[in-house]
Structure 1
């Protein structure tokens, strides 16, 4: 089975040195979505600090196969008033 590596850059780089064996590229894409969701959940409010981040998936030869990009941007409608839980 092929091995895929999930590298995260979010102000600093976190290289996946172990990789994950998955059946094919489609399984790697599914895993990338799950991994990104876990990272977003764990980031909490830090996600809103304006730092762009990405998850790159590479094959066993180090070739980048695809990249997921994430960023958040507050717009004036939100920055002009205090946020209250559940307001969105």
Structure 2
């Protein structure tokens, strides 16, 4: 099975969880989105994530294949 890495960055690399096996890139993409959702769910307890961060799915050599990005913006009064 192909190997992928999930790298979390917010200007600097916060996390690289090593090589993970998935049957294909589509499966790795789905899992990256699920993992990002779990991080957002726990955001109140995660102080290390800033207001702008992303998760890259890379191959073992570091080539980015998928990027999931988030920006948190305070925008009171916008309709």
Mapped pair 1:41 → 2:34: no
Question: Offset of 1:66 from its aligned partner?
Answer: 1.4
Structure number with the higher helix fraction is: 1
Per-residue deviation, 1:25: 0.4
Under a length normalisation based on structure 2, what TM-score does the superposition of the two structures give? 0.80
Deviation at 1:6, TM superposition (A): 0.3
- The 1-side partners of 2:35 and 2:14 are apart by 13
List gaps (5 residues or longer) in structure 1: 79-88
Which has the higher Rg, Structure 1 or Structure 2?
Answer: 1
What does 1:29-68 align with in structure 2 at a 5 Å threshold?
29-44=29-44, 51-68=51-68
- Unpaired runs of 5+ in structure 2? none
Across the aligned residues of Structure 1 and Structure 2, the Cα RMSD in angstroms comes to 2.5
Aligned residue pairs, count? 77
| TM-score with structure 1 setting the length | 0.73
